[in-house]
Structure 1
Amino acid sequence: MTTAGDGPWLDDAAGRLVRPYTISNGRTRPTAALDLLSQVRATGSTPLGPLGPEHAQALGLCRSAVPVAEVAAHLRLPAAVTKVLLSDLVDCGALTTKPPAHHHNPTDRSLLEAVLDGLRRQL
């Protein structure tokens, strides 16, 4: 187990020792309209006010446009918590958001084929 000064509070057997709802201050709904395929990107503006370490990590991941699902995976947080963190950054002007190109029809065949191709390349 690591100590507070060594990095994130993780226990090899138990995982993260800080519960997700404490990271989002108990909030469960984001203020910005985000779904898992929404693209978020850093604006370069410095956020006003204090932000938690997870906010800083998320902002660092968004130097280029990245989907919300990918940010959640890198942060190892539930998508709902990640959406709240990202919406905080959108609200303070540190991130911009763009709906996915296929947001009108998420079952579009070309989208599903692109996802399948991407998954095959990863394997």
Structure 2
Amino acid sequence: MQADSPRAAHDWLDHDAGPVVRPYAMTQGRVAPEGGEFDLVAFVVAIAGEHPQDAGLQPEHHAIVAASWEPISVVELASALDLSIGVVRVLLGDLRSAGLISLYEPPAASQPHDVDVLKAVVNGLRAL
């Protein structure tokens, strides 16, 4: 392959899959969000009036803030941005600690499940 070929400078780029950036590069090796875990159905809302101009934020952080001006669930956000849920959780933890977003968990997600209801469901399924 010639050195002046346009492909020679970007052999790491997979044109079918797009640029390859490993998830640990986006999260800087972190696997858990700052400030604790949150549910996949929690709603993310950008705080009005705040514009993330901090140079410490990555493009993915800016994309999350831009996508969350209206309430959106964590799992929908991951799908919309085409990022893994683990990466989105870590980045949301960063944004929450920076005060740029708010997370609202539905009451049912934060309460433990009623064992009696679960047993009744299992018994009903067995009866089928």
Same fold, TM-score > 0.5, yes or no: yes
**C-alpha distance in 1 between matches for 2:13 and 2:112:** 39
**C-alpha distance in 1 between matches for 2:105 and 2:13:** 33
Alignment RMSD (CA, Å): 2.6
Residue ranges of structure 1 left out of the alignment (5+ in a row): 1-8, 109-123
Structure with the greater alpha carbon radius of gyration:
2
Match of 2:102 among 96, 99, 103: 96
Within a 5 Å distance, the mapping from 1:49-68 to structure 2 comes to 49-68=55-74
1:34 aligns with 2:74: no
Question: SS where residue 80 of structure 2 aligns?
Answer: helix
What is the number of residues matched between the two proteins? 101
Which residue identity is paired with 1:69? Answer: V
Shift, 1:77, TM fit: 1.2
**C-alpha distance in 2 between matches for 1:86 and 1:21:** 15
Partner of 2:21: 18
Say which is worse superposed, 45-54 or 80-89, in terms of deviation: 45-54
Which residue identity is paired with 1:25? Answer: Q
The TM-score normalised by the length of structure 1 is 0.70
Residue ranges of structure 2 left out of the alignment (5+ in a row): 1-11, 118-128
Question: For each residue in 1:14-42, what CA deviation from the matched residue of structure 2 results, as whole angstroms up to 9, or x when unmatched?
Answer: 34401111001110000133221111100
**C-alpha distance in 2 between matches for 1:38 and 1:15:** 30
Structure-2 change in CA distance of 1:106 and 1:73 (3 Å): farther
Partner of 1:116: none
Partner of 1:46: 51
The TM-score normalised by the length of structure 2 is 0.68
Partner of 2:120: none
